[in-house]
């Protein structure tokens, strides 16, 4: 199992870390990326109750965000913040979904590419206009992302999912502690099995809801907020 470090809640301006075990280097790195995606959707009083994502889009730069939260520049994941916040017009196109993590439900999935998206290919071939194909596609649950529709993958998670990824990281680490695996494949299959059990168990982080239901609910709320934000600011986006 791969060792990694996850960051705790940095809202107070401090950074807390803990060690965890994951079956692959890619999934261990994904923990940090999911945390950042979620953090960028959490409104901040320092940003006039905008989310970091909204602030960066409005300012067309992450400078104000980094200046407001200078502690992030000292974080081990700072380069990932820079990578994710390098927003361009591509962020507003349907293709941007393939750069998203898909969150904790997809932590062990491989990187998704457009060439793998058979549903979109089918719709492009059947619809007369590309916009119509995208409109239908974005709402349909996809096997590529554990049955999340593309619009919720694009929207990202929030405060609850950010806590849940840490909870699952600790849960998996407890489950596999001191276990030995013959192959990387065995370790990955075991991790996926633990994820599927964990995601349906009632969790106090989400007031007794199963994580899978809480994640979908939160992502739907984030999607609605992003949609309203884009419409209010007259920003064209394939997902709105």
Please state the pTM of the whole predicted model: 0.91
Q: Can you give the length of the chain in residues?
A: 240
Task: Check residue 3 and report its DSSP letter.
Answer: E
Intervals of the chain under pLDDT 70: 1-18
Given a contact cutoff of 8 angstroms between Cβ atoms, the answer to whether 31 and 56 are in contact is no
With respect to residue 162, please indicate whether it lies within any of the assigned structural domains: yes
Q: What is the pLDDT of residue 1?
A: 52
Task: Give the residue among 140, 61, 129, 127 at the shortest CA–CA distance from 97.
Answer: 140
How many domains in the chain? Answer: 1
With respect to residue 237, please indicate whether it lies within any of the assigned structural domains: no
Given a contact cutoff of 8 angstroms between Cβ atoms, the answer to whether 183 and 156 are in contact is no
Q: What is the pLDDT of residue 13?
A: 36
With respect to residue 239, please indicate whether it lies within any of the assigned structural domains: no
With respect to residue 240, please indicate whether it lies within any of the assigned structural domains: no
Q: What is the pLDDT of residue 15?
A: 38
Domain that holds residue 190: 2-232
d(CA 120, CA 135): 10
Q: What is the pLDDT of residue 5?
A: 43
Given a contact cutoff of 8 angstroms between Cβ atoms, the answer to whether 2 and 24 are in contact is yes
With respect to residue 79, please indicate whether it lies within any of the assigned structural domains: yes
As given in the structure block, the two tokens for residue 83 are 């990578």
d(CA 105, CA 154): 14
Task: Check residue 50 and report its DSSP letter.
Answer: B
With respect to residue 202, please indicate whether it lies within any of the assigned structural domains: yes
Instruction: Label residues 60-90 b or e (16+ Cβ within 10 Å = b).
Output: eebeebbeebeebeebebeebbeebbeeeee
Task: Check residue 110 and report its DSSP letter.
Answer: P
């Amino acid at each position: 199992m791969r060792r990694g470090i996850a960051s705790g809640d940095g809202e107070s301006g401090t950074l807390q870390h803990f060690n965890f075990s994951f079956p692959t280097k890619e999934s261990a790195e994904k923990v940090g990326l999911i945390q950042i995606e979620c953090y960028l959707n959490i409104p901040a009083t320092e940003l006039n109750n905008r989310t970091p994502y909204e602030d960066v889009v409005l300012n067309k730069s992450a400078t104000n965000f980094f200046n407001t939260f200078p502690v992030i520049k000292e974080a081990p994941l700072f380069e990932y913040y820079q990578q994710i916040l390098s927003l361009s017009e591509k962020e507003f196109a349907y293709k941007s979904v393939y750069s998203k993590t898909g969150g904790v439900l997809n932590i062990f999935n491989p990187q998704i590419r457009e060439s793998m998206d058979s549903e979109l290919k089918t719709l492009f071939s059947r619809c007369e206009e590309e916009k119509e194909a995208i409109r239908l596609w974005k709402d349909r649950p996809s096997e590529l992302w554990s049955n999340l529709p593309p619009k919720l993958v694009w929207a990202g998670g929030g405060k609850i999912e950010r806590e849940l990824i840490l909870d699952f990281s600790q849960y998996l680490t407890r489950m596999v502690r001191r276990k030995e695996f013959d192959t990387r494949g065995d370790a990955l299959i075991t991790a996926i099995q633990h994820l599927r059990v964990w995601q349906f168990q009632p969790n106090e982080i989400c007031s007794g809801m199963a994580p899978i239901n809480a994640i979908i609910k939160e992502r739907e709320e984030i999607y609605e907020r992003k949609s309203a934000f884009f419409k209010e600011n007259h920003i064209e986006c394939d997902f709105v």
